[in-house]
Structure 1
Amino acid sequence: MHRTTLLHEDFWKLRAEATWGNAASGDDLVALRAENDQLRRAMAGRAVIDQARGMMMVLTPCGRGTARDLLVDISRQCHTKLAEVAAAVVAAWEGKPLPERMQRALRRALRRLHAEDRDGETHPPADEPSK
């Protein structure tokens, strides 16, 4: 019990120092909160990208790396962030139509993938780096 009380008191002292301390501490707190928000958004975007990658793996029997490459290719062709493309793919899976420009980009990316496969190029497994 004594330990918990001591930690609790220390916590409030640190919080008070960071909040009401000098300007540098306040600036650090603002910077940390901004970084925390940025990391939360990045993690949320990553989840939808992973979900879309899994969908691409199911739809076009391919590995993780190839599925991500397809999403990146669509993103580049549409000049759209990868997370936005991934969200559109997930939404399409759930019944919302994929925007026309992304449909065209997906068709082009799939044609390139199949042309590479026909030409005999081999794709390294997703876990192995390409040489």
Structure 2
Amino acid sequence: MREEIGQLHEALTRRPVIDMARGILMTVWSCTRDEAFELLVYVSQHTNTKLYDVAEAVLASVQGHPLPTPLQNHLAAAVARQRAR
């Protein structure tokens, strides 16, 4: 039970970061909320990086920190893939 509570608490603290990253992607790439989430998931899966860590990197990029090259490359690929649909 304590483990489950801990996991729920972690999810609640991480959700705002993911939502902010989603908003950034929506603004930058002119996509919907669901499409922005798909971009985050795609990058996460194709770089073997936790979704939360991808979201943190997106937030950091807005604050002037460069997005790591593998994340940049996969994000560009995800956007191209999404637009080709």
Q: Same fold (TM over 0.5)?
A: yes
Which residue is equivalent to 1:75?
44
User: Would you tell me which structure has more helix in proportion to its own residues?
Assistant: 2
Which residue is equivalent to 2:71?
102
Alpha-carbon offset, residue 100 of structure 1: 0.8
- Tell me the percent identity: 42
* Aligned length, in residue pairs: 85
TM-score where L is the length of structure 2? 0.91
Gaps of 5+ in 2: none
State the alpha-carbon separation in 2 of the partners of residues 103 and 69 from structure 1. 15
Which entry has the higher C-alpha Rg, 1 or 2? 1
State the alpha-carbon separation in 2 of the partners of residues 49 and 101 from structure 1. 19
TM-score where L is the length of structure 1? 0.61
Q: Please give the secondary structure, in 2, of the residue aligned with 1:87.
A: helix
Structure of higher RCO (CA pairs closer than 8 Å, 6+ residues apart): 2
Runs of 4+ in structure 1 deviating by more than 6 angstroms, as ranges, are: none
Gaps of 5+ in 1: 1-30, 117-131
Alpha-carbon offset, residue 41 of structure 1: 1.1
